[in-house]
């Protein structure tokens, strides 16, 4: 499970268990459109929920106490394309959350972010559409949209990040023990050892120079 989804579940005031593969496939068939990968992954882990401040993710299918992604998407929303769009949430009664294919979402050049031009036509964008003001804001990813609306909760399952941190801690400890760390006590002692070796080498050199003189003195005798 992606770390940001784990954090999202922790931030939820209320959440529902993930939807089954059968339910996901059924809703796709009902709408006649495949779910974006990020949205499908999220609903496989969490079938909607509520968050502070006043954010709701619809359940995949409508229930007596919850709006449904399938029904909201089929109903459409004024100001959004009729096709190539999924509606999946609401903030504060006016901001409708959606996913739209780049090829279907046409924004005025003066309001479209520069990065949109670099995306392929089949890419999915995520955003919010305010039906009161007409304001529309888009994001590159579902994670970026939701963390913009919902205060994130830091979370990390045991995985590559945790392993990397553990390995770094072990490496630092080994460096300290071996004295390879410049700030460690062991490293500070090394210059003294080198100085002692240098003195020994000088003494040996003097002894070698003195040896020929002694031999010459014996010959004179």
What SS3 class is residue 112?
coil
Q: Where are the domains of the chain?
A: 3-149, 162-215
pLDDT digits (tens, 9 = 90+) for 157-205: 444 444 444 555 555 656 556 554 444 444 444 444 554 455 555 545 4
Residue 155 has pLDDT above 60, yes or no: no
How far is residue 68's CA from residue 72's CA, in Å, rounded to a whole number? 6
Helix or strand or coil: residue 4?
Answer: helix
pLDDT (tens digit per residue) in 74-129 = 999 999 999 999 999 999 989 999 999 999 998 888 788 888 988 999 999 999 99
What are the φ and ψ backbone dihedral angles of 62, each rounded to 5 degrees? -60, 140
Helix crossing, 185-220 with 160-178: angle to 10°? 30
Can you name the CATH fold of 3-149? SMI1/KNR4-like (3.40.1580)
Tens-digit pLDDT profile for residues 10-56: 999 999 999 999 999 999 999 999 999 999 999 999 999 999 989 99
pTM (2 decimals)? 0.68
SS3 call for 43: helix
């Amino acid at each position: 499970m992606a770390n940001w989804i784990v954090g999202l579940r922790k931030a939820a005031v209320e959440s529902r268990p993930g939807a089954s593969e059968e339910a996901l496939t059924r809703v796709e068939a009902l709408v006649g459109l495949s779910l974006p990968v990020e949205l499908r992954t999220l609903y496989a882990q969490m079938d909607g929920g509520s968050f502070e401040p006043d954010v709701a993710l619809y359940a995949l299918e409508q229930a007596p106490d919850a709006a449904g992604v399938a029904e909201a998407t089929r109903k459409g929303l004024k100001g959004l394309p009729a096709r190539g769009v999924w509606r999946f949430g609401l903030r504060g009664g006016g901001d409708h959350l959606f996913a739209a294919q780049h090829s279907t979402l046409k924004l005025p050049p003066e309001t479209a972010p520069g990065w949109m031009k670099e995306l392929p036509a089949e890419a999915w964008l995520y955003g919010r559409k305010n039906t009161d003001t007409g304001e529309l804001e888009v994001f590159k990813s579902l994670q970026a949209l939701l963390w913009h609306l919902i205060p994130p909760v830091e979370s990390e399952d045991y995985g590559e990040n945790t392993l990397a941190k553990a390995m770094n801690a072990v490496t630092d400890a080994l460096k300290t023990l071996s004295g390879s760390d410049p700030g460690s006590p062991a490293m500070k002692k090394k210059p003294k050892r080198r100085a002692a070796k240098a003195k020994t080498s000088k003494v040996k050199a003097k002894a070698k120079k003195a040896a020929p003189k002694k031999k010459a003195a014996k010959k004179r005798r």
